[in-house]
């Protein structure tokens, strides 16, 4: 079976715009808001969301990245990848509302690792989760606050997010 496209460029743009509005509404504005993307595509999405939130609110929003590689509990099963840089905005995260941003939510293990990584950096007042695609099959009690699209899938299927900045194309596909 070949991969089928479930989100096109316009769908991704619409989803991110909606998520940006939801983040602002939930936070009652952009004050004390920090967006942290989980490498690789979560960082790209966090920067896009940061630009959208800043444009809508007319306020600059702190954006950074949070590498979770060394905090994962499944390193023995997963092929090792080299850690990516963690970039915490100058104001830090203490007392702030941190929105973790990732491309696909599957088992929840990356997000659990991100929560551990955040704890090692500081103490935010609140941590929220923004996901472009929620595909289900959680192994941990993790639930996103902001979702671009719920895409039911089987465990054998693979959801691929491609973004212009990383891949030269803009789409979400699902396939074997």
Looking from the CA of 4 toward its CB, the CA atoms found within 13 Å total 5
Q: Which residues contact 9 (CB under 8 A, 6 or more apart)?
A: 170, 171
Give the N- to C-terminal CA distance of the chain in Å, as an integer: 6
pLDDT at residue 85 in the model: 86
pLDDT in tens, the chain (176 residues): 589 999 999 999 999 999 999 999 999 999 999 999 999 999 999 999 999 999 999 999 999 999 998 887 776 676 666 778 899 999 999 999 999 999 999 999 999 999 999 999 999 999 999 999 999 999 999 999 999 999 989 999 999 999 999 999 999 999 98
pTM score of the predicted model: 0.94
Quote the CA–CA distance of 115 and 110 in Å, as a whole number. Answer: 9
Residue 80 belongs to a domain = no
Quote the CA–CA distance of 64 and 90 in Å, as a whole number. Answer: 10
* Nearest alpha-carbon partner for 72 in 37, 38, 103: 38
Residue 10 belongs to a domain = yes
pLDDT, tens digit, 9 for 90 and up, residues 104-119: 999 999 999 999 999 9
pLDDT at residue 79 in the model: 63
CB-CB contact of 123 with 96 (8 Å): no
pLDDT at residue 78 in the model: 66
DSSP 8-state symbol, 69 = G
Q: The CATH number of the domain where 103 resides is what?
A: 3.40.50.2020
Q: Which residues contact 155 (CB under 8 A, 6 or more apart)?
A: 137
Which residues share a beta bridge with 99? Answer: 35, 128
Residue 150: give the domain boundaries. 4-69+93-175
pLDDT at residue 176 in the model: 83
Total number of domains in the chain? 1
């Amino acid at each position: 079976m070949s991969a089928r496209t479930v989100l096109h460029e316009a769908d991704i743009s619409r989803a991110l715009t909606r998520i940006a509005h939801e983040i602002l509404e939930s936070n009652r504005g952009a004050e004390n808001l920090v967006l942290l993307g989980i490498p690789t595509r979560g960082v790209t999405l966090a920067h896009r969301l940061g630009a959208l939130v800043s444009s809508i609110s007319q306020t600059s929003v702190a954006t950074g990245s949070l590498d979770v590689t060394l905090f994962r509990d499944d390193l023995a099963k997963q092929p090792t990848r080299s850690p990516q840089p963690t970039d915490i905005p100058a104001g830090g995260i203490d007392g702030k509302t941190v929105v973790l941003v990732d491309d696909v939510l599957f088992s929840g293990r990356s997000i659990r690792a991100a929560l551990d990584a955040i704890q090692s950096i500081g103490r935010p007042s609140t941590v929220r989760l923004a996901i472009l695609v929620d595909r289900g099959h959680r192994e941990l009690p993790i639930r996103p606050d902001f979702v671009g699209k719920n895409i039911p899938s089987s465990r054998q299927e693979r959801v691929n997010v491609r973004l212009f900045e990383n891949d030269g194309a803009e789409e979400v596909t699902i396939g074997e």
